[in-house]
Structure 1
Amino acid sequence: MAPMVSHAQDALSIPGAQDIAVSTDGTLLYILNKDGTVSGYNIREDSFVFKGEKIPELRGVPYQILLSSTGDRIVVLEYDPDNRMFRLSVAVYNAGTKSLEGGPAYTFNGRLESGRLSFAFSPDGTTLYMGYGADSLFRLSLTEQQQAQLRIGALPTALAVTADHTVVSVNEGAGTVSIVPDDTSAGIKEVAVGLSPTDILLNNVTGYAYISHTGSDDVYVIDPNTGSVVSIVSVGADPTDLAYDEQTGDVFVANNASGTITVIAPNFTTTTIDINSPAYFETAPIQIAYATNLKRLFILNRTEGKYIVYDTTANKIIDRRDVVMSAKSLVFSDTTSEAYILTWQGEEIIVVDVTSLEARSIRIAQNTSEVFFSSPQSIVIDSPGNRVFVSNIGANFITVLDATTFKPIEKIPSGRAIQNLFLNKKTQKLYAVSPADSTLAVIDITNDTYPQKTLQLAQQPRGGVIFEEQNILYYSNAAAGKITVIDGATDTVVGTVDVPDGSYPLVNTIDERRGMLYTALYAGGVVAVIDTATQKLVSTIPVGENPIWVRYISELDRILVTVERGEKVIVINPDTRKIAQEIPIDGKPYRIFFDPSTEFVYINHRGEEVVDVFIQDESSGEFTLAWSGVLPFWGETDRRPYNMIAYDPKTLYGYLTTRNDTVEVITIGHGENGILEGEIIATVDASGEVAYTDASREEAGANRFLAWNLFLGILVLVALGAIGAHHWMRRRESSEPASPHQ
């Protein structure tokens, strides 16, 4: 059932929402617009209270909006891409004048080369605590210009603040929890917890802090007063978000890879709710909120584009619906028991009344039909056709760029939230997979009308690979534990290969020489090996916790696997299908890139901009570290700020999709020691405008200079040729005829 749609007054004057926050009484939505301004929307009256209010200190890309615990102060965070820094501005809403009044502003200089940002307000709403980067905790006053910086554990990822202003920080990198008292002279306690701690919840009923761990699949229960570990509770796979019943103290844990909810009672006994809706927690985790007065749990699965309402009294799901466009974020009002879902394109907010289960859509901004990008993701390049195809998670179309001018020239209608694109260069078919719809669109790019056929796959297809020699495609269905086999000649599903249940298959690669398919089973800790001749699973190779990327590099004749939680790279010998080498990584390895010109292998890291570069020894076949460090572009593809990168060997241009609804074009070359380097030459924004940099103008000037010199050279050659021909004719006319025997 589609939600009812109401249109906000003067909606088209709003450029689209980047983020939202809801007031404590549930009547006012604060909207951070994509142009950096802020608007206030009265939910009950379906109208704007104020629109496009400018905050003087904001000059960069809007990032996030936060509302204090008392509801009287808003904080806006922006990102400055030119200087690679964050700025934070405070404002207060004046109900009398219906406008914003400025407050303190803070700038955080230097590149955020590792870590992310996390926030929590003090109970009185006068202080904002921010976990920042590698190991910093900032205490920022919201009433006056005053800040303090403390050092805590590595990579703070979530914060909570107790009633006495004690800060509890979850430190993913260190595997610890830092307990920071208001009076820091008493010292900071560091408490060792499980693997990859992710989120934190303060339970006011039990008085304990609950910390979820995606690495060890458990929840630690800690007394924030003493720092002691009270209990360790096993839960499902990849637990992240937490919520609780403010009357009974029951804690709810979202298990992403399992597609379940664990309920932890105050005595630490557990029950499991099967919602049959797994998610990929790294990019689109399950979010939950609990309406204590209704005893109903609201569940948003952004990976599948669905929301679920579970009644804990009746112990059953009472509502399950698709989100028409892909969901970006969720905020919840405890006062009204309403959920507010912001869609990726930022043009509408879906309001779900958890009491009546009625849903309506508030359209607040321009339609995505007027833009070319909405959370652009995957990129493929058609070099012969001089085209670049870009998928959009926040829309239902694929954008086509002209590879010469970089301008958008077409939008191809497609399924919801297209995750990955694959191009068969031989057949000129483009494949676009939608995890939300569980479909695959097959698009003929030889025809200007882009005709397409839609195939139904299993649940939540994500990774894919093309066996070009046989024209067969393989798609992993993460939530179903199946690999779908597709005949590329007939565009039909011809079979499925089962992998272990709950293993969450993701990325695939194929060794065409031996006809073997390798699939990383993210929740299974193994790589599955499938014989493409028989379409059977022939073996599984244990590699460690959370294998994410797998790639066969034919030039090196090796399969490489990045193992996130194991913090290592596994090298597999395709002849034996056994592990040939295990390389420890100082961090979480993520994507694998290969430069055929140098035969360097590049491994970037989760949560930081570091890239490790490896080279293979010709005699032993083993890999050694050639270089490691911060590497722009390739090190920034974990939404820092880039998503994906693709390279066109014909033009030597690289294309990167960004979290800012743009596509950036770079020139790619080699620097010191043969390491890849890039330079931005153009940025294509959502409106289709192309901004060229000085570097691109210099390159264009150089190209014009070369073209002019080439033109002059041709003129000279033509002139010399004409003179030579004239001289030769004169000589021929004045000489004796040649002998036939000469």
Structure 2
Amino acid sequence: MTRMSTRILLSATLGVLIGGTALAGQAPGPASAPDVPVSHRDRFYTSDQFSNTVSVIDPADNKLLGVIKLGDTTPMNLSPLYKGQLLVHGMGFSPDHKTLLAVSIGSNSVTFIDTTTNAVRKTAYVGRSPHEAFFTPDGKAVWVSVRGEDYIAVLDAESGKETGRITVPNGPGMTIFSPDGRYGYVCSSFSPETVVIDVKTHEIAGRVKQESPFCPDIAATPDGAQVWFTLKDVGKVQVFEAKPPFKPLKTLETGPITNHVNIVRNKAGQFAYVTIGGENTVKVFRTDDYSQVAAIPTGALPHGLWPSGDGSRVYVGLENADKAAVIDTATNKLIAEIPIGQGPQGVAYVPEAVPEGAGTANLQPLGPAGKTSMLTLSNKDGKAATQVTLFDQGVLQTLQAAVTGLAPKKPFVLALSKDKTGAGTVEPLAGFMTNPAGAAIVNAVGPIRQVTQGASEDSRRFLVIVEGKPGELGQPVQRQSE
């Protein structure tokens, strides 16, 4: 018997001795799997979109061990000869916990990483703008949601080569599998429809109407009964039956910039944890009666989240804070924050990722990626509405604004103004359209910190949001708080 098998058996036996039965397994595995207590052999990973790194955390002491560098920051990654990965975004891992997947949107790639050595084993290139990837439960294949097109790319898990494609509604956002491996659930980011695919035949076995076309994330409950998915543009979560006829069960109003959902099982029951970026909270819902039991304040723009192997904690990537937040699921309180790379998106908690050794080979220090600045924009009444982060890339910064509190489905412009109220001439940075919840994620690149914070009084500029489009600007609606 291997060391890992012995440890899992002891964990299950301990659960029987203490509580009468072992606690149920955690997502993405089945409820029949034993829990794996947090240890130094576990790892929590984040895909860091603006630093193009993967942050590696030891959850036993909530410490950043270092980062796996997959690419360069701006402007080094703008060269036509650039070969690194760009916009590291999605995550997945193998059933044996030996391989981590990192999906890079800008370079159309899936990187296979050894969890013990942190070394890149291989990189597969797929279609336009892949978003997420996950191993099938048997570990033989990887399904990649090619969000810029209309299919799932099926890769051989050993070679990384594409072996087939499954046509789905345009813009597949993410795939997750039923715990028994029978079905793959694929939500869409561009079409108002989630499909259920038979894993053996690759045929569509069911369809579920989405209440909006923008689903970025989907999760299946370990008990095999439900599937939950988020609708980022309208601030909702939908739930449907995981088995035929895949009947819709519930739609929950969750809040603006509803990002990801994941499932936790503990002694109190089974719960869905949902990140709400526009409110900087993680909301917790029971899966039996859908009641909300907690709203946990976090740092700026919570995005991906994943439970520990025993469900005692939930780890959350804070996209605009460059941190990972740790939640105790017994109390639903924030217990730690850990500095990580820039703009964490997808995340993964992998129990027993490093069964032997320190697991720190091939890691690099966080370095300049840990430097960020934060600003706030307020409505005319002075109420804070938009949080802005400047991710330091050297001379330049990548700006990301989590905009809320505006009229829905209207055009606006993020701009620089000499006047702190936004009056007079403004210099547009980025035009955008709000979603049905009156929110948006807005990006820009430039020496923005220098002109908004460190400039002289005469040359200083203030961030503002004005109505209209570039070239057709209206009145200011939000301004930088001092």
Provide the TM-score with structure 1 as the length reference.
Answer: 0.39
Specify which of 222, 234, 241 is matched with residue 258 of structure 1: 234
2:382 matches 1:455: yes
Give 1:327 shift: 3.7
1:710 corresponds to: none
Give 1:206 shift: 6.3
Give 1:299 shift: 1.2
| Counterparts in 2 of 1:361 and 1:171: CA distance versus 1, 3 Å | same
- Alignment-mate amino acid for residue 257 of structure 1: D
Give 1:232 shift: 2.3
Equivalent pair of 2:219/2:261 in contact (CA under 8 Å): yes
1:14 corresponds to: none
2:98 matches 1:126: yes
| Counterparts in 2 of 1:331 and 1:654: CA distance versus 1, 3 Å | same
Q: Map 1:438-587 to 2 at 5 A.
A: 440=379, 455-456=382-383, 483=407, 503-505=408-410, 507=412, 522-523=434-435
Q: Take 1:160 and 1:115, find their aligned partners in 2: how far apart are those partners?
A: 18
2:446 corresponds to: 645
Give 1:301 shift: 0.9
- Alignment-mate amino acid for residue 94 of structure 2: S
Is the radius of gyration larger for structure 1 or structure 2? 1
Q: Take 2:135 and 2:84, find their aligned partners in 1: how far apart are those partners?
A: 24
Q: Take 1:263 and 1:225, find their aligned partners in 2: how far apart are those partners?
A: 24
Equivalent pair of 1:189/1:227 in contact (CA under 8 Å): no
Q: Map 1:652-691 to 2 at 5 A.
A: none
Q: What's the secondary structure of 1:26's corresponding residue?
A: coil
Q: What's the secondary structure of 1:240's corresponding residue?
A: coil
2:146 matches 1:159: no
Q: What's the secondary structure of 2:237's corresponding residue?
A: strand
Equivalent pair of 2:178/2:224 in contact (CA under 8 Å): no
Equivalent pair of 2:143/2:153 in contact (CA under 8 Å): yes
- Alignment-mate amino acid for residue 124 of structure 1: D
2:267 matches 1:362: no
1:244 corresponds to: 220
1:234 corresponds to: 209
Specify which of 234, 241, 260 is matched with residue 287 of structure 1: 260
Equivalent pair of 2:124/2:161 in contact (CA under 8 Å): no
Give 1:176 shift: 1.0
- Alignment-mate amino acid for residue 263 of structure 2: Y
2:47 matches 1:42: no
Q: What's the secondary structure of 1:204's corresponding residue?
A: coil
Q: Take 2:251 and 2:102, find their aligned partners in 1: how far apart are those partners?
A: 33
- Alignment-mate amino acid for residue 308 of structure 2: S
Please give the per-residue CA displacement for 1:508-534, whole angstroms capped at 9, x wherever unaligned. 599x9xxxxxx9754469xx9xxxxxx
2:397 corresponds to: none
2:399 corresponds to: none
Give 1:242 shift: 1.1
Specify which of 35, 58, 80 is matched with residue 72 of structure 2: 80
**308-317 or 348-357: bigger deviation:** 348-357
| Counterparts in 2 of 1:264 and 1:504: CA distance versus 1, 3 Å | farther
Equivalent pair of 1:478/1:504 in contact (CA under 8 Å): no
Please give the per-residue CA displacement for 1:247-273, whole angstroms capped at 9, x wherever unaligned. 133100111122211111022111333
Q: Take 2:191 and 2:75, find their aligned partners in 1: how far apart are those partners?
A: 37
Q: Take 2:159 and 2:172, find their aligned partners in 1: how far apart are those partners?
A: 23
Unpaired segments of 5 or more residues in structure 2?
1-34, 344-369, 389-401, 416-422, 424-430, 455-482
Please give the per-residue CA displacement for 1:75-104, whole angstroms capped at 9, x wherever unaligned. x3453348947xxxxxxxxxxxxxxxxxxx
Q: Take 2:86 and 2:299, find their aligned partners in 1: how far apart are those partners?
A: 35
- Alignment-mate amino acid for residue 79 of structure 1: G
Give 1:226 shift: 1.9
Give 1:344 shift: 6.1
Q: Map 1:593-608 to 2 at 5 A.
A: none
**119-128 or 169-178: bigger deviation:** 119-128
Please give the per-residue CA displacement for 1:348-384, whole angstroms capped at 9, x wherever unaligned. 7644333443x14336679xxxxxxx98xxxxxxxxx
1:274 corresponds to: 252
Q: Take 1:138 and 1:345, find their aligned partners in 2: how far apart are those partners?
A: 24
Equivalent pair of 1:115/1:156 in contact (CA under 8 Å): no
- Alignment-mate amino acid for residue 307 of structure 1: V
Equivalent pair of 1:243/1:252 in contact (CA under 8 Å): yes
Q: Map 1:1-40 to 2 at 5 A.
A: 25-28=37-40, 40=58
- Alignment-mate amino acid for residue 42 of structure 1: A
Alignment: residue pair count: 351
Q: What's the secondary structure of 2:382's corresponding residue?
A: strand
2:478 corresponds to: none
Q: Take 1:308 and 1:38, find their aligned partners in 2: how far apart are those partners?
A: 25
Equivalent pair of 2:298/2:334 in contact (CA under 8 Å): no
1:103 corresponds to: none
- Alignment-mate amino acid for residue 340 of structure 1: Y
Q: Take 1:348 and 1:274, find their aligned partners in 2: how far apart are those partners?
A: 28
| Counterparts in 2 of 1:217 and 1:183: CA distance versus 1, 3 Å | same
